[in-house]
């Protein structure tokens, strides 16, 4: 019985997922990110201190747990990979070289309401860079470049990375005279969900804003540009603050760097805030063209105060691809297809059960050369064995010589033959030397 929010892909979908993960992994490594995996659980007090997540954390406990177990021993499943990464850095900082660049591809868990593209258990692919005490800003500009390269390597619609900088927002709010900037950020971040009228009312009610201040916050959130023109539009609102100026300069650097690397990849979107409290500067969200109504598939940002040991801080910046979210949306629209449902390249036909050992030896020779091979499951008529391969999209059937194999396949002689069942072409073949076309060695994924 399916459990809502815990997706299980079918084998063809799993092939697609694995190939996409291979592309993500290889792109991350091209930029120098090293692989890391952290535990699935964290102390509950750590998980509850990082923003509006308390209703989403899954607790971990034994069925027969001791009633007298200490409350502070409670563990929860991690809801993202940034918090456990920060904990890992603080515990291992003496063994790491900084700036430390890592990627993680792991499951995370959130107890939110399942819907299309949103799950309770899902796969994320993260990159982060962490420094000791300081982290150069150019790493903020690198994040969109990596993600842009990932997406261009995949058979998916074009993506636009939306960027903002919390310093812009917080400086602007300060300049307006609003003190609870964190509350303003959280409220404005709900703009797409509840609309401008409700956001304005919430700003008045929860952040102590006047109607004029709320209107100014909405005016800032309405600014969007694919080039540096956003900065002039912000300044035209007539608000000044040193933090605002700093944020505008940083955001301009991100937009201009991305524009040089890949025009159209990045757009400054000043309503982006991100709901987690630990972001302090640049923030990112990503929309897939044609899927904008489903929200962001990639998000992240700069965090300067998430990790520290004594007086030493470990500022970082990171971005995360919601792999399950991306795939769920594309699978839901039948937007991806795979050339076959199994890895197998060739099926060795089985003339009779007493020939199985000989057929296994042929398969072993092909496998040793990196060619995924199955022996037919039963010694049925060759027409049925070809049908077995065809139903799975397997491109080749191998006919062993002797015992009528060649003659039944329409060939004569004592040489093995292999048939491309798509074209009908059948040729002599030796398992020690035969090589399928490179394109057939692995299932191929394409846009449907």
**From first to last of its 448 residues, what are the pLDDT tens digits of the chain?**
789 999 999 999 999 999 999 999 999 999 999 999 999 999 988 888 765 556 789 998 888 776 666 655 789 999 999 889 999 999 999 999 999 999 999 999 999 888 888 899 999 999 999 999 999 999 999 999 999 999 999 999 999 999 999 999 999 999 999 988 888 988 988 888 899 999 999 999 999 999 999 999 999 999 999 999 999 999 999 999 999 999 999 999 999 999 999 999 999 999 998 766 788 999 999 999 999 999 899 999 999 988 899 999 999 999 999 999 999 999 999 999 999 999 999 999 999 999 999 999 999 999 999 999 999 999 999 999 999 999 999 999 999 997 444 434 444 457 999 999 999 999 999 999 999 999 999 999 999 8
| 24, 29, 147, 278, 415 from 161: Cα distances, Å | 16, 21, 9, 20, 57
Residues written for the chain = 448
Same domain membership, residue 284 and residue 197: yes
pTM of the model: 0.90
User: How far, in Å, CA of 286 to CA of 152, rounded?
Assistant: 14
78 occurs within a structural domain: no
Residues 247 and 377 in one domain: no
Q: Which of 338, 360, 380 is the last residue of a domain?
A: 338
Beta carbons of 397 and 385 less than 8 angstroms apart: yes
CATH number, domain containing residue 377: 3.40.50.800
Q: Is 81 annotated as a binding residue?
A: yes
User: Do both 295 and 379 map to the same domain?
Assistant: no
Is residue 229 a part of any domain in this protein? yes
Instruction: Report the distance separating Cα 133 and Cα 79, nearest Å.
Output: 26
**416 carries a ligand binding annotation:** no
Q: Both tokens of residue 311?
A: 């007086």
pLDDT value at position 223?
Answer: 97
Question: Within this chain, do residues 126 and 20 fall inside the same structural domain, yes or no?
Answer: yes
213 and 134 co-located in one domain = yes
Same domain flag for 278 and 367: no
CA angle 204, 210, 216 (to 5 degrees): 100
Whether 44 is in a domain gets the answer: no
Is 277 annotated among the ligand-binding residues?
no
The reply to whether 394 falls in a domain is yes
Partnered with residue 43 across adjacent β-strands are 75
Task: Please report the sign of the dihedral spanned by the C-alpha atoms of residue 375, residue 376, residue 382, residue 387.
Answer: negative
pLDDT score, position 53: 59
Indicate whether 329 and 293 sit together in one domain: yes
Q: Is 124 annotated as a binding residue?
A: yes
261 assigned to some structural domain: yes
pLDDT at 104: 98
pLDDT the model gives residue 278: 82
Question: Same domain, yes or no, for 259 and 354?
Answer: no
Q: How many domains does the chain have?
A: 2
pLDDT computed for residue 182 by the predictor? 86
Of the candidates 388, 375, 390, which has an alpha carbon nearest to the alpha carbon of residue 420? 390
In a domain, 79, yes or no: no
Tell whether 258 and 392 lie within a shared domain: no
CATH classification at residue 23: 3.30.930.10
Q: Determine, yes or no, domain membership for 384.
A: yes
C-alpha 298/C-alpha 326 separation (Å) is 9
Structure tokens at 185: 């950020």
Contact by Cβ (8 Å): 143, 133: no
- The verdict on whether omega for the bond into residue 99 sits within 30 degrees of 0, i.e. cis, is yes
Same domain, 324 and 356: no
Of 307, 338, 369, the residue at which a domain comes to its end is 338
Determine the structural domain holding residue 327 and report its residue range.
11-33+114-338
CA gap 78, 62 in Å, rounded:
17
Q: Are 318 and 126 in contact (CB under 8 A)?
A: yes
The verdict on whether residue 80 carries a ligand-binding annotation is: yes
Residues 202 and 290 in one domain: yes
Q: How far apart are CA 302 and CA 28, in angstroms?
A: 18
Residue-level pLDDT at 63 = 80
Q: Residue 274, annotated ligand binder?
A: yes
Residue 112 contacts residue 118 (beta carbons within 8 Å): yes
* pLDDT of 71: 57
- Regarding whether 365 and 315 lie in a shared domain, the answer is no
- Residue 225, Cβ density class (10 Å: 0-12 exposed, 13-18 middle, ≥19 buried): middle
- Beta-bridged to residue 269, according to DSSP, are 224
Question: Rounded to an integer, what distance in angstroms lies between the CA atom of residue 320 and that of residue 105?
Answer: 9
CA 236 – CA 233 distance, rounded (Å): 5
- Rg (alpha carbons) of the chain, rounded to whole number: 28
Structure tokens at 326: 């991306």
Q: Is the residue at 441 inside a domain?
A: yes
Q: Which of 338, 367, 389 is the last residue of a domain?
A: 338
Task: Determine if residue 33 is labeled as part of a ligand binding site.
Answer: no
């Amino acid at each position: 019985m399916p459990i809502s929010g815990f997706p299980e892909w079918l084998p063809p979908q799993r092939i697609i997922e694995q190939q996409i993960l291979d592309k993500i992994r290889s792109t991350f490594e091209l930029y120098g990110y090293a692989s890391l995996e952290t535990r699935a659980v964290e102390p509950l007090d750590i998980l509850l201190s990082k923003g509006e997540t308390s209703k989403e954390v899954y607790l971990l406990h034994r069925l027969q747990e001791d009633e007298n177990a200490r409350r502070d021993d409670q563990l929860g499943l991690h809801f993202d990979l940034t918090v456990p990464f920060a904990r890992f850095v603080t515990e291992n900082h003496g063994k790491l070289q900084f700036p430390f660049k890592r990627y993680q591809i792991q499951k995370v868990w959130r107890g939110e309401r399942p819907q299309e593209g949103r799950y309770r258990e899902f796969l994320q692919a993260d990159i982060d860079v962490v420094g000791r005490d300081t982290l150069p800003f150019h790493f903020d500009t690198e994040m969109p470049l990596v993600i842009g390269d990932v997406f261009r390597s995949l058979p998916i619609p074009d993506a636009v990375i939306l960027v903002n900088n919390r310093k812009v927002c917080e400086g602007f709010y300060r300049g307006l005279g609003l003190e609870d900037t964190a509350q303003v950020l959280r409220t404005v971040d709900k703009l797409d969900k509840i609309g401008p009228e409700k956001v304005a009312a919430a700003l008045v009610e929860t952040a102590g804003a006047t109607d004029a201040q709320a209107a100014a916050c909405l005016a800032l959130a309405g600014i969007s540009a694919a080039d540096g023109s956003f900065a002039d539009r912000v300044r035209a609102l007539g608000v000044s603050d040193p933090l605002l100026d700093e944020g505008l300069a940083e955001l301009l650097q991100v937009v201009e760097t991305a524009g040089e690397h890949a025009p159209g990849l990045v757009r400054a979107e000043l309503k982006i805030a991100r709901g987690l409290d630990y972001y302090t500067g640049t923030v990112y969200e990503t929309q897939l063209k044609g899927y904008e109504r489903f929200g962001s598939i990639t998000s992240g940002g700069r965090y300067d105060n998430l990790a520290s040991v004594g007086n030493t801080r470990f500022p970082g910046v990171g971005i995360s691809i919601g792999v399950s979210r991306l795939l769920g949306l594309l699978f839901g629209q039948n937007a991806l297809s795979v050339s076959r449902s199994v890895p197998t390249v060739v099926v060795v036909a089985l003339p009779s059960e007493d020939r199985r050992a000989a057929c296994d030896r042929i398969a072993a020779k092909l496998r040793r050369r990196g060619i995924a091979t199955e022996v037919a499951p039963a010694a049925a008529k060759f027409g049925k064995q070809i049908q077995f391969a065809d139903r799975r999209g397997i491109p080749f059937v191998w006919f062993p010589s002797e015992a009528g194999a060649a003659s039944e396949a329409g060939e004569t002689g004592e040489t093995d033959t292999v048939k491309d069942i798509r074209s009908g072409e059948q040729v002599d073949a030796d398992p020690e030397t035969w090589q399928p076309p490179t394109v057939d060695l692995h299932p191929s994924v394409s846009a449907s």
